Amino acid sequence: MAEKVLMKGNEAIAESAIRAGCRFFFGYPITPQTELAAYMAKRMPKENGTYLQAESEIAAINMVYGAASAGARVMTSSSSPGISLKSEGVSYIAGSDLPCLIINIERGGPGLGSIQPSQSDYWQATRALGHGDFQMVVYAPSTVQEMADLTYGAFDVADKYRTPVMILGDGMLGQMMEPVALPEPRTSLPEKPWATTGHKNERTKNITNSLYLDAELLEKSNRERYERYDVIKATEQRSEQVDCDDADIVVVAFGASSRIARSAVRAAREQGIKAGLFRPITLWPFPVDALKQTVGKAKAYLSVEMNMGQMVDDVRLVVEGNAPVEFYGRVGGVIPTPAEVLEKIRQINEGLGE
């Protein structure tokens, strides 16, 4: 394995993207993703790549649209308010069936909110970031190593299904340093026969388009996209489970809050409470199949999030009323403590005897 180095989550994403063959980065500065763009500005020219700070987020995402059309591995990164500005472009990219990577290092909201960590863009990321019927694969890393690994793989998933892919991190994961072993640089990339690279009178022309004035054609295009989504749902769900097999209480948490939940679950076990951690790694597709295996066994669920309660909806859709699903969250940039989560687990555990 490669030697481990200390890197910030933001930097690990950037380096891993370059190693995955990404040679185009378009962005606009915002805290707390700053180091990601700064790293790209330093590294991209050395790899004969393009780093461009656009005049706005809207310009940046449309540059991504262009580079993706031409078949390049391309990405942009931002934080919550900047992602909202990019949403129109993301809808166009999805409507044109183009692959790209979008990083959201979330901060508190709504509005300008704060610059402190948050997970309050879960709905935005998983329910379609923009107008129209579309979804995109969303990964939620919980360590710097996972930020590197998921970024590396995200480009392959984007290319395979011709879809935008998002890495949903937050200010804590972006800013923190942990040891990370970086993946080996890609030596070859997939062919993209659909790319708009100039037909040179040698093939039929390729067109990037999301406009269908014929209703039936647009319906057909939507249906075809959703057939691909079915394949993604069947094959791309990812999750991790810790001590869920005999758990009375399954704590569900992703990203930064899963780290806190993990500590709380460990402390609960030490007190003799049968708690387990279920950690979605893909937020879309939500790891329905794996979570379903706990339904009927677990007596209660607790969703822990840094928002007012968003993923808890997805947990309830899986649990389908078979057990109570509770929620604990902190917002505005406040990070929940393991002690707070443990207290909530204890309360639920006491209620189980009744």
Partner 1 sequence: MEEMRIVFAGFGGQGLLFAGKVVAYAGLIEDREVSWLPSYGPEMRGGTANCSVTLSDEPIGSPLIMDPNNLIAMNQPSLLKFENEVTPGGRIFVDTSLVNRLPERTDVEVYALEATNMAEEAELKGLANIVLVGKMLKETSFCAPETIEAAIRKAVPARKAALIEKNLKALKLGMEA
Task: Give contact residues for partner 1 (rule: CB under 8 A).
Answer: 4, 6, 31-32, 114-116, 171-172, 175-179, 256, 259-260, 262-264, 266, 333, 335, 337-338
Distance CA 257, CA 279 (A): 10
CB 263 to partner 1: min, Å: 3
Residue closest to 277 by CA, chosen among 285, 267, 126: 267
CA 279 to chain centre: 13
Q: Taking a C-beta distance cutoff of 8 angstroms, is the pair 145, 178 a contact?
A: yes
3-state secondary structure of 24: strand
For the chain, how big is the Rg over CA atoms in Å?
A: 21
Residue with smaller CB distance to partner 1, 246 or 270: 270
Task: Identify which of residues 218 and 335 has a Cβ nearer to partner 1 in the complex.
Answer: 335
CB of 109 to partner 1, least distance (A): 15
CB of residue 54 vs partner 1: minimum separation in angstroms?
23
Could you tell me the smallest distance in angstroms from the CB atom of residue 36 to partner 1? 13
Closer Cβ to partner 1, 146 or 159, answer by number: 146
Q: How far is the CB of 233 from partner 1 (least distance, A)?
A: 30
